[in-house]
A and B are shown apart, each in its own frame.
Chain A
Amino acid sequence: MQLPAVDDVSFEVKKGELFGLIGPDGAGKTSIFRILTTLLLAEHGSAWVDGFEVIRDYREIRKIVGYMPGKFSLYPDLTVAENLNFFATVFGTTVKDNYELIKDIYVQIEPFKDRRAGKLSGGMKQKLALCCALIHKPSVLFLDEPTTGVDPVSRKEFWEMLNRLRMQGITILVSTPYMDEATRCDRIALLHNGKILSIDTPENMIKSYPEQLYAIKADQMYLLIKSLRKYPEVLDCYAFGEYAHVSFKIPFEEYLLEAYLGAEGLSGIEIKPTAATIEDYFIKLLKT
């Protein structure tokens, strides 16, 4: 069985936008990036990057985009400084010319500038890769899953770096499997099995969530979820951090639900309305 990796995908990104492709592994994020950076040919359809067509004008596109692939792709046996100089030279510029753009990030790895890139820690490699993708001052920056497998502290730092780059006017396309990173983007496309399920600002997506969601907590999560799934008025229910997120088919009586959960053997019950998140919205789309 052959499945298309990217299936009839249409979207536009505005100049200066921070645009997120959000979806699990196998959704098609990397293939889209590879098509847009002219590294992979699409079977049909067309695409433009900064006014250039991906097939006809591939040489132009390669000059104006910065691309940070998901897999570390710098030269492991060149030092930090050598890698950066190499990429600057290939693009016909110098580190000095565009130093302002990378300064914030580069100062963090500068103490290690004579270390070979292969010997850097994961977080340092990531920062160097970002510097190398930026050194020719690209008009569009493609970042393929820069935060995958990265711990929450480093993820937060990385998004703060992206935000500063956005302030400098660079258009950024970034992909991630982490739903909680979606709200950091101006607009996002939710991807699954090669298709765009939805495309909008994170705020609009959250606003369009059709039901009122409730956050319900009790002392035993698994028993809580199993009990809620048996409750006739429940439409959907799943774990969401310390709470279960629950939607109902019809308005429910809180005291009846609480009594039911108590009879199931649960204690410490808390029921409150809650706002939907991008993850709730994505779950909804996957289930419908």
Chain B
Amino acid sequence: MKETVIKTDQLSKRFGSFIAVDAISFEVQKGEIFGFLGANGAGKTTAMRMLCGLSVPSSGTAAIAGFDIYKKTEEIKRNIGYMSQKFSLYEDLTVLENISFFAGIYGLSNSAIKEKSEALITRLGLQKEVKKLVGELPLGWKQKLSFSVAVLHEPKIVFLDEPTGGVDPVTRRQFWDLIYEASEKGITVFVTTHYMDEAEYCDRISIMVDGRISALDSPSALKTQFKAATMDEVFYELARGAKRGD
């Protein structure tokens, strides 16, 4: 049975006369890896902030993990995980302190924190680094740790905002292994990226242009639809018509 974890209907956000997000409607299923693409300024960040319960929509409806986007924002925040390239972990706390801190924020019990942090540290091979400050870790490790912390409370959905920007190609792929593992456990992954090869790793992708969703399908269906050999060409075909930049 399919279970819908994100459902939006005509969701919009206006700032004065500027329509940042213009009536977007889509659904994402449980365990799906959903790529959320778009040119700079297309409205991705604004849309994502609404879906995370951080910004009140101007009109339209949406339910995230079954919770209404207007009335149940606190429940939404408890049922999602979030990481971005900019904000991830506290640099001046150690690896273990960061894990305990975020697990505590999400209300995990002390015994659950202990058990989960041990599993996480083993999975990432960070046994020797547990007492190191996160600021001393290489960027790639930080990003992998940050993702693992974002899914530690087993959220229904994890939102990833350009999680692999600037990361080396080997680490980038290790990061995607973590995404696949989370998806196999039933966690829905909602991810933005500027790497078009990563768009191929998603089950389905949407491409936003000027506040609207211009295309939404699996990567192979989109390539067929736009008679393109690569996702890069699909993106180019759609986004070159964009009227606005960021």
Contacts of B3 on A, CB cut-off 8 Å?
Answer: none
| Contact residues of A between 223 and 256, Cβ < 8 Å to B | 225, 238-242
| Contact residues of A between 150 and 191, Cβ < 8 Å to B | 150-154, 156, 177-179
Q: With an 8 A cutoff between CB atoms, is A52 at the interface?
A: no
- Would you call the interface of chain A mostly helix, strand, loop, or mixed? mixed
Contacts of A123 on B, CB cut-off 8 Å?
Answer: 40, 245-246
Q: With an 8 A cutoff between CB atoms, is B119 at the interface?
A: no
Known interface pairs A24-B140, A24-B166, A25-B166. Does A151 touch B173 (Cβ–Cβ under 8 Å)? no
- B194 touching A1 by the CB < 8 A rule? no
> How far does the alpha carbon of A24 sit from the alpha carbon of B140 in the complex, in Å?
9
- B170 touching A283 by the CB < 8 A rule? yes
Known interface pairs A122-B40, A154-B39. Does A241 touch B166 (Cβ–Cβ under 8 Å)? no
Contacts of B201 on A, CB cut-off 8 Å?
Answer: 221, 239
Known interface pairs A123-B246, A156-B236, A222-B180. Does A151 touch B166 (Cβ–Cβ under 8 Å)? no
Q: With an 8 A cutoff between CB atoms, is B123 at the interface?
A: no
Contacts of A286 on B, CB cut-off 8 Å?
Answer: 168-170
Q: With an 8 A cutoff between CB atoms, is B9 at the interface?
A: no
Q: With an 8 A cutoff between CB atoms, is B136 at the interface?
A: yes
| In-complex Cβ contact of A150 among B40, B139, B170, B177 (8 A) | B40
Q: With an 8 A cutoff between CB atoms, is A45 at the interface?
A: no
Residue of A nearest to B241 (CB): A153
Known interface pairs A123-B245, A152-B236, A153-B240. Does A240 touch B166 (Cβ–Cβ under 8 Å)? no
> How far does the alpha carbon of A85 sit from the alpha carbon of B31 in the complex, in Å?
55
- A151 touching B200 by the CB < 8 A rule? no
> How far does the alpha carbon of A190 sit from the alpha carbon of B5 in the complex, in Å?
42
Min distance, Cβ A279 to any Cβ of chain B, angstroms: 5
Contacts of A152 on B, CB cut-off 8 Å?
Answer: 194, 196, 232, 235-236, 239
> How far does the alpha carbon of A149 sit from the alpha carbon of B40 in the complex, in Å?
8
- B168 touching A24 by the CB < 8 A rule? yes
Q: With an 8 A cutoff between CB atoms, is B231 at the interface?
A: yes
Q: How many residues of A contact B (CB 8 A)?
A: 35
| Contact residues of B between 73 and 95, Cβ < 8 Å to A | none
Q: With an 8 A cutoff between CB atoms, is A137 at the interface?
A: no
> How far does the alpha carbon of A238 sit from the alpha carbon of B175 in the complex, in Å?
12
| In-complex Cβ contact of A151 among B38, B140, B168 (8 A) | B38
Q: With an 8 A cutoff between CB atoms, is B216 at the interface?
A: no
Known interface pairs A26-B138, A222-B184. Does A241 touch B40 (Cβ–Cβ under 8 Å)? no
- A26 touching B139 by the CB < 8 A rule? yes
Q: With an 8 A cutoff between CB atoms, is B154 at the interface?
A: no
Min distance, Cβ B208 to any Cβ of chain A, angstroms: 11
Q: With an 8 A cutoff between CB atoms, is B106 at the interface?
A: no
| In-complex Cβ contact of B173 among A1, A192, A238 (8 A) | A238
Q: With an 8 A cutoff between CB atoms, is B197 at the interface?
A: yes
| In-complex Cβ contact of A241 among B167, B177, B231, B236 (8 A) | B231
Contacts of B177 on A, CB cut-off 8 Å?
Answer: 222, 225
Q: With an 8 A cutoff between CB atoms, is A148 at the interface?
A: yes
> How far does the alpha carbon of A222 sit from the alpha carbon of B202 in the complex, in Å?
11
Q: Which residues of B does A touch, CB under 8 Å?
A: 38-41, 136, 138-140, 162, 165-171, 173, 176-177, 180, 183-184, 194-197, 200-201, 219-220, 230-232, 235-236, 239-240, 242, 244-246
Given contact pairs A26-B139, A177-B165, A286-B170, a sample of 9 additional A-B residue pairs in the complex whose CB atoms are under 8 Å apart:
A25-B166, A27-B168, A122-B245, A149-B162, A150-B40, A152-B239, A153-B242, A154-B39, A242-B220
30 A-B contacts, Cβ less than 8 Å apart? A24-B140, A25-B139, A25-B167, A26-B139, A122-B245, A122-B246, A123-B40, A148-B165, A150-B40, A150-B194, A151-B40, A152-B232, A152-B235, A152-B236, A153-B236, A153-B242, A177-B167, A178-B195, A221-B180, A222-B177, A222-B183, A238-B170, A239-B173, A239-B176, A239-B201, A241-B200, A242-B200, A283-B170, A286-B168, A287-B170
The 8 A-B residue pairs whose C-beta atoms are closest, nearest first, are A121-B245, A25-B166, A24-B168, A222-B180, A241-B197, A151-B39, A123-B245, A122-B246
